[in-house]
């Protein structure tokens, strides 16, 4: 591998390690465990899972990899705080979407060359990107992996 391929592979490895830890926690949680808040009065585990699913889904469009798969998650798990959404999305649908979205992202990542990671993301203008070239797809991957870890630090408290 070339140096830039190794740098990208290290970053994708960081993402996959974080996803594996999340898989282990969420996919093994029972329906009852998913209803536990992470601390008294805080988000339930199911809300965090749905929230992380919505954020991963939004990476598809933000990275310019096509249309996101489940925009309907946003109003339940991003816009609305936990326990306030007018409708619910059950755990088996969250589970299915989480798996589907992460598979889509990883299929796209497998086809990306190092230079592809340096393309601007879709929330930055051409003019701004010319001045701020670090607002690229790799920055999205890293910040979203960081965000996943942030909520995993909370999720680990659920029911304990």
Contact residues toward a second copy (CB under 8 A) are 1, 3-4, 6-11, 13-14, 17-18, 38-40, 42, 114-115, 117-118, 133-134, 136, 138-139, 142-143, 145-147, 149-154, 157
Q: How far is the CB of 37 from a second copy (least distance, A)?
A: 10
CA distance 122 to 30: 37
Altogether, the residues listed in the chain come to a count of 160
Give 12-67 as a DSSP string: HHHHHHHHHHHHHHHHT--HHHHTSBSSTTS-BHHHHHHHHHHHHHHHHHHTTSS-
Specify the residue, 3 or 28, whose C-beta has the smaller distance to a second copy.
3
Residue 14 or 61: the one with the smaller Cβ distance to a second copy is 14
Question: What's the closest the beta carbon of residue 149 comes to a second copy, in angstroms?
Answer: 4
- Residue 151: CB minimum distance to a second copy, A: 6
CB of 138 to a second copy, least distance (A): 5
Whether residue 26 contacts residue 49, with contact meaning beta carbons closer than 8 Å, is answered with: yes
Cα torsion through 12, 99, 78, 109, rounded to 10: 30
Measured from the CB atom, the residue of 49 and 70 that comes closer to a second copy is: 49
Nearer to a second copy, 42 or 44 (CB): 42
Token pair listed for 71: 């925009």
In whole angstroms, the minimum distance from the beta carbon of 87 to a second copy comes to 27
Quick one: tokens of 144? 């979203």
């Amino acid at each position: 591998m070339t140096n830039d391929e190794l740098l990208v592979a290290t970053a994708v490895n960081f993402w996959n390690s974080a996803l594996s830890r999340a898989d282990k926690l969420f996919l093994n949680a029972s329906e009852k465990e998913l209803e536990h808040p992470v601390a008294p009065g805080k988000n339930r585990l199911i809300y965090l899972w749905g929230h992380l699913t919505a954020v991963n889904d939004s990476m598809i469009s933000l990275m310019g990899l096509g249309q996101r798969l489940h925009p309907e998650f946003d109003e339940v798990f991003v816009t609305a705080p936990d326990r306030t959404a007018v409708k619910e999305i059950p755990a088996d649908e969250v589970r299915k979407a989480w798996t589907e979205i992460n598979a889509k992202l990883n299929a796209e990542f497998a086809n990306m060359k190092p230079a592809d990671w340096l393309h601007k993301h879709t929330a930055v203008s051409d003019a701004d990107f010319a001045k701020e070239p670090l607002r690229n797809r790799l920055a999205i991957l890293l910040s979203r992996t960081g965000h996943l870890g942030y909520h995993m630090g909370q999720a680990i408290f659920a029911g304990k």
